[in-house]
Every structure is written in structure tokens, then in C-alpha cells.
Chains A and B, each alone.
Chain A
């Protein structure tokens, strides 16, 4: 945990992968977003930022210290 939570801007988003995908043999990527207008693309990032601001955080995954480092870090709006 570091500082208090702050609203996110689209600039801090490196990658957005939309959808679940459900193929079991090769990894898939939504491609139609490449062809949308800048306005529509901006709406995607705005929706992502809104979700990032609202959802509670849970940290998972292995760390250099060992696997299964799972913790509930904070509640929304805190």
C-alpha cells in the first residue's frame, strides 16, 4: 500500500484488452476497436477509468518472495 487512492486518467493506461475471449487453443484479441473513431475510442478509456475508480482492490499473484500473495488491499472510495 502506498498513498491514498486518486482518480485515474487515461494516460496511465498502457493496455486495454476488452472481453473475456473463450477460445481454448490460441489467445485472442478484440480487433474492431482499431477501426473506431477517436471519440468512440476515448469513450472506452473513459469507461475503464470510471471502473478503475469505483471497484475495490484485491492483489493476487506470486511474488519473488513466494506464491499466493493474495490480499484485500482496500475498499472503494477509501
Chain B
């Protein structure tokens, strides 16, 4: 196991099973360890446990909602540059590095980079569109602990999210990766046009051999930061139904043989505030490791130019990845994100889910409200604003 001391105890990454465990100080002592200065009153903010690293800005897919605005002629860091960034992640004690882009599989040195990540004690994972994934490229992905394929549904559903139907290529990629013995998940972006088909999409993905589905909220970043976002985001009734939908999906897939896990992204957590059973037990969510907005905390992103960002959707800070270990605690922009999460405004301040949710998606708040504030699409925030007459500020 890999242990990283924290002010409250330690993060422990197990190596015999895919799990990250937070132990309190008594638990760490039971391992025969002591946190020493890391448990003192002046301990700095925690480093990220997971970093999303753009290994290329190149992609020919042209998805309408690409958060990076990746293009065929995008920036591509050299191999030595990326190795230096992996060094920096190792020095900060990061556990997982998620390779993204652009389309990372366009890099011929991908297997080498994954091996180098592992050599540094990092667990490498990867996201791909699956487009153009030849047998040779699939073989390069064996070094990754898991590969997620973007799969928003079959045919029209895929096209409704990305602007073209790449579902056959994605399905072929899932099959090819599974045949290669690679653990495969699917990323499913939820829009108001595809939400109703979510159950069918997951059943299809499972049939193809995927073992996990990550449900992603559509976010107004990159090419998706347009007025069209308002027509694609989940409707209020859909957002409020996320809890019951997840419960039904968990029951369906937990009741049939074979592992198929359901995962939600950080930006989906605010939607759980509309589910009374879930909202009443935030301690359960915390203990089962559900992460809301962990931007600048458990999560960081390294943009393709090497600058660190609170998350992949947020603007980059001035901090260079090479300075992550020395600068993470002191960067003013990262500090601003952390400070807000510690003391959000109402209605988040009085919300029981706040320790988990941490105020929801600030990228959405910045786009809709032009403010680093409560998530305007959270059902609880909507209700609060309806009550107080403070309406969503769609001014664009």
C-alpha cells in the first residue's frame, strides 16, 4: 500500500485491490506509522489525490461540446516535458493520473508514458473517444489500469451530445479493449435529450463488456460555453430525479451477475440534494468516498501547456506543474477555490450535503451567474432562489 500523511490521518492506496482509503490517526498508528509534523497544527492543505493531465491538445473528432476546444492542430507537449510533469506529480504524492486531451491515443509514446507513470508510483488511467483506435493503438493501452471510452448512447443519442454519430466506433473500441483484457469503463454525458435513454445506454455498454459507467454532467466549458448549453443541460425535473434514477440503476446492475459499477462525477452531487433519503445521510456519502467539488483540493488538472488548474474545466492558474509540490499550498487562485468551499454562501452554507457537495460546480456558476458561488442548477439552490426572488441570472 502507498501511504500519504494528511492532517487528519493518511490516504492509503491499496495495491491488491483498486481502492483509496482514508484512515484516521489511530488507524495510521495501527499500521506502525506516525504522521509527525504532517499531523501538526501548521500542516499545509492536502495535495491532490488525482490529477487530470492533458497529454495532447490534438483531436480530429470535433465534438460540439469539447471542454478543451481540442483541434487537429492543437498543442502537443514533448515526451520529456510530460515526464517532468509526472515527476512533479510523484513529488506531490499524487496517486492517480488520468491521461486526457485532446485525443491521447494519437500519441505513439502512450504506452511508454503509462509505464513511466507506474514507475513513479502513479496509477495511470485514460479517456478516449475510441475513434480511429486501431489494433496497434489498443495494444498500447495495456499499461493503463482502466480505459474509459466516451459513449453517450447508440446512434442519435451519441450524436445529440457530440454533433456526430461516433457510437459505432466507440462500441468497436469497447469490444477491442475488452478483448485485449483491458478494464473498460464508459463515460456517459447526460443531456436533456439523452437522459431518458440512460438505462438503455448502460445496458448496452455492459453488453459490450464495460465494467463501469461514469455519468457526467454536461458543462459549459470550451466549445460548450455557448447559449446552446442552456438547451442541452438537464432540465430541473431531470436534475431532481437523479437520486431515484441512480437508485434504480444500482438495483438493476447490482441484482445481476458480473461487476458493473455506477459512478457519478463531482458536478452531479448537487442533484442528490433533491433525494430526501440521500440528503439525510451525508456521513454515508462521505464514508463511501463520494466527492463533490474537489477542485484545488483532492483534484487538480494540468493543462496541455503545463499550467495547473483547479479542475479540467476551470481556467489555468499561474502555477506550473513543475512547481506543484512547492506551490500548491500558496497559489492564490487555488487558495481562493479552497476558501470558498470552506465558507460558501447561502443556501449552501446551511445545506447538510455541503461537506460532500462543497457548493456544486463553480464552472456552471461562473457561466450562468458570472460568480464563483452556489451551483444555480442545484435543486436546493433553485428552490432557495424561487423563495427569495433571486432568480437564475441567464444574462448571456
Contact = CB atoms under 8 A, between A and B. Distances in A.
Contacts of B311: 25-27
B100 A52 contact: no
B3 A27 contact: no
Given A14-B8, A51-B17, A27 B287 contact: no
A23 B265 contact: yes
A61 B289 contact: no
Contacts of B261: 18-19, 30, 32
B343 interface: no
A20 B16 contact: no
A1 interface: yes
Contacts, number: 265
18 contacts: A4-B32, A5-B30, A6-B30, A13-B23, A13-B287, A14-B23, A21-B263, A22-B147, A24-B98, A26-B217, A27-B266, A28-B264, A35-B254, A48-B14, A57-B3, A59-B4, A60-B3, A62-B92
> Which of A4, A15, A28, A78 gathers most chain B CB within 10 Å?
A28
B33 A68 contact: no
Interface of B: 1-5, 8-9, 12, 14-24, 26-27, 29-34, 37-38, 40, 42-44, 47, 50, 52-54, 67, 90-93, 96, 98-101, 104, 121, 123, 125-127, 144-148, 183, 185, 187, 212, 214, 216-217, 219, 246-247, 249-251, 253-254, 261-267, 269, 278, 284-291, 294, 298-299, 311-313, 325-326
A17 to B, nearest CB: 3
Interface string A48-59: 100110111111
Instruction: Name A's interface SS.
Output: loop
Contacts of A51: 1, 14, 16-17, 19
Interface of A: 1-8, 12-36, 47-48, 51-52, 54-65, 67-68, 70, 73-74, 78
Given A30-B288, A32-B253, A23 B27 contact: no
Instruction: List the 10 closest pairs (A to B, CB-CB), nearest first.
Output: A61-B93, A24-B100, A12-B27, A17-B289, A15-B22, A22-B125, A32-B250, A67-B325, A2-B34, A22-B148
Nearest to A40: B254
Nearest to B55: A24
B214 A23 contact: yes
Given A15-B21, A20-B145, A23-B265, A60 B2 contact: yes
A13 B27 contact: yes
B102 to A, nearest CB: 10
Contacts of A56: 1
B263 A30 contact: yes
A68 B90 contact: yes
A31 to B, nearest CB: 5
B19 A32 contact: no
A31 B216 CA distance: 13
Contacts of B326: 67
Contacts of A15: 20-22, 286-289
B31 A52 contact: yes
Contacts of B101: 24
B3 A59 contact: yes
B257 to A, nearest CB: 15
B28 to A, nearest CB: 8
Contacts of A57: 1, 3, 31-33
A1 B18 contact: no
Contact of A18 (B19, B22, B29): B19
A34 B290 contact: yes
B47 A62 contact: yes
Contact of B127 (A14, A22, A65, A74): A22
